């Protein structure tokens, strides 16, 4: 995928997919603005980006705070002068449990961390994106398709994100800005092992059996890698997808399809 000469902001640069998005975009030729809460990890990933020969601007920020997003946008403007791609991978995972047990504060935190964080950043960066055939990519989750037991708020947020894509595609289309979503299935990671350990303990089947059952439910008999997901995000950010907006693409090895 060729992203040469393009400026990209990646929000939610953490271990796993966040890091892979950064290194994949850098390898494709993009200069980056990296956003996350943890400044120390941003610097680590920025080192990998610069080692690949691309520029990296680190922007520690709480994306639920509109003022912090405005400051981040100001710095992107000063540093790069424009923006071609925004990838929103940031999220907040609410507590597990029945919806009836969730408090108003937990609902509000989920909306802020998963939806408001996306719109806060986008609309502050919008002046840098207008007229550039820019691209916005939101990263959702398989939870929007197959809600895990007791993950109701998180599943609702990730499902709402898919409607948000269509709303923003219509709103921003007149500015030449495309908006799409990627929906990853289970992504190979240390966190995934912890997930199956918990799932196996809850069912009594054990970690290995819980993982085997989930793998067997995919068409390819395996889970996707962070790199496979990042490559699809890069496609949406590249000139190869200039005719695509308002769409959602599932990357899940055949775990789910409608």
Structure tokens at 156: 């609702």
State yes or no: pLDDT of 213 exceeds 80. yes
For the chain, the structural domain boundaries read: 7-188+224-251
* CA angle centred on 109, ends 104 and 114, rounded to 5°: 130
Residues whose CB is less than 8 angstroms from the CB of residue 41 and which lie 6 or more positions away in sequence, other chains included: 13, 14, 15
- Under a CB-based contact definition with an 8 Å cutoff, are residues 253 and 19 in contact? no
Burial 159-169 (b: 16+ CB within 10 A, else e): bbbbebbbebb
Distance CA 224, CA 205 (A): 23
Domain 7-188+224-251: which CATH number of 3.40.50.720, 3.40.50.11540, 3.90.330.10, 3.10.20.440: 3.40.50.720
Phi, psi dihedrals of residue 246, rounded to the nearest 5°: 75, 20
How many C-beta neighbours within 10 Å does residue 74 have?
12
State yes or no: pLDDT of 225 exceeds 90. yes
Q: What is the pLDDT of residues 1-59, one digit of tens each?
A: 899 999 999 999 988 999 999 999 999 999 999 999 888 899 999 999 999 999 999 99
DSSP letter assigned to residue 238? S
Among residues 157, 91, 168, 89, the alpha carbon closest in space to that of 134 is found at 168
Phi, psi dihedrals of residue 211, rounded to the nearest 5°: -65, -45
Q: What is the pLDDT of residues 95-146, one digit of tens each?
A: 777 777 888 898 888 889 899 999 999 999 999 999 999 999 999 999 999 8
């Amino acid at each position: 995928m060729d992203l040469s000469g393009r400026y990209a902001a990646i929000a939610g640069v953490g271990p796993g997919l966040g890091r892979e998005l950064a290194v994949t975009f850098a390898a494709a030729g993009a200069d980056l603005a990296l956003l996350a809460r943890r400044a120390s990890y941003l610097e680590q990933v920025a080192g990998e980006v610069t080692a690949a020969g691309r520029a990296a601007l680190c922007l520690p920020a709480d994306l639920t705070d509109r003022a912090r997003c405005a400051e981040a946008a100001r710095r992107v403007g000063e540093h790069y002068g424009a923006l071609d791609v925004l990838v929103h991978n940031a999220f907040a995972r609410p507590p597990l449990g029945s919806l009836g047990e969730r408090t108003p504060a937990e609902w509000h935190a989920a909306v802020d961390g998963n939806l408001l964080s996306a719109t806060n950043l986008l609309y502050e960066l919008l002046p840098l994106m207008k007229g550039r055939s820019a691209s916005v990519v939101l990263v959702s989750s398989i939870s929007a398709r197959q809600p895990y037991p007791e993950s109701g708020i998180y599943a609702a947020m990730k499902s709402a994100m898919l409607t948000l894509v269509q709303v923003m595609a219509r709103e921003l289309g007149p500015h030449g800005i495309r908006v799409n979503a990627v929906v990853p299935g289970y992504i190979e990671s240390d966190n995934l092992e912890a997930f199956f350990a918990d799932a196996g303990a809850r069912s009594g089947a054990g970690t290995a059996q819980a993982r085997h059952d989930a793998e067997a439910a995919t068409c390819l008999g395996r889970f996707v890698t962070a790199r496979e997901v990042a490559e699809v995000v890069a496609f949406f950010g590249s000139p190869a997808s200039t005719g695509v907006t308002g769409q959602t693409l599932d990357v899940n090895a055949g775990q789910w399809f409608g």
